Structure 1
Amino acid sequence: MYRFSFVLVLLFLVGCMADGGKVTVREVLKNNPTADIFQYNGFVYSNVTELDWFNDKKENYKKNSLVGEIKKKSTRVLGFKDLTATTLPVGTKIYTTSENEDDVGILIVEYEGKDMYFMRLLEG
């Protein structure tokens, strides 16, 4: 039940990708205090690695260029800024999935030898 509720919240937050509206860390953590998120270029990214609807899409995304590393770990809204994460440790590497630097809808994180997929959250 919890996982189903989280998926519904995530789908609501992702909404229409063409809209361009930013979801805030405050909104995400209010709805799910244990969310696995980080912020990059002012946008919040949420872990979609284990979500059923994303499993078939994983093979479409490959690591491209390194865009940064997690600089801070925090679950507090105050001071949550770019390259801050709720669960990923400091030093975790973040990669693009496209040669187009503007195409950052999905980012790949390399964590404990495995790839994890994070989707940019936009308001619908």
Structure 2
Amino acid sequence: MKKVIIILLLFCFLFVGGLVISSSGLMKNEKDIIKYGGRTYSNISDLDWFESEKSRYKKGEKIGEIKNHARFSILFRDFSATKLPEGTLLYNTVGTNQGIKPLIILVETENAEILYYRWLPKE
């Protein structure tokens, strides 16, 4: 009887823990985000306020490529993305000094489309 109670308590704990994790957003990947240099960058390419700013950001030196398509944001590590496929190229913006993490990262897709990802310190 003691084992049954322990198993039921463990099941309840796992069930409640799963609900808390899923409702907290740790498991969601609805946003188009990438991780680089320990920072999370969000796709701002189609935002109205950014349309007039795009011309200021030119493609600089290659900084890497997407190595992991993460379905869950809790599993994110550098060069992971929620929407971009593995192998997608990432670039610094012109004017970003070597060794300094950029505010904006340019992404070149397979069909040569340029996307802009901005570091958002707090989400």
With the length of structure 2 as denominator, give the TM-score of the two structures.
0.72
Instruction: Confirm or deny: 8 A CA contact 2:29 2:82 kept in the other structure.
Output: no
Mapped to 2, the partners of 1:48 and 1:77 lie a distance apart of: 18
- Residue 119 of structure 1 is matched in structure 2 by 118
1:45 and 2:41 aligned: yes
Listed as ranges, the gaps of 5+ residues in structure 1 are 1-25
Q: Which runs of 4+ in 1 moved over 6 A?
A: none
- Residue 89 of structure 1 is matched in structure 2 by 85
Q: State the secondary structure of the residue aligned to 2:59.
A: coil
- 1:80 counterpart letter in structure 2: F
Listed as ranges, the gaps of 5+ residues in structure 2 are 1-20
Instruction: Confirm or deny: 8 A CA contact 1:98 1:104 kept in the other structure.
Output: no
RMSD across aligned positions (CA): 2.2
Matched residue count: 97
Deviations 1:24-62 (A, max 9, x none): xx9xx9297410001000000000000000000000000
The sequence identity of aligned pairs, in percent, is 36
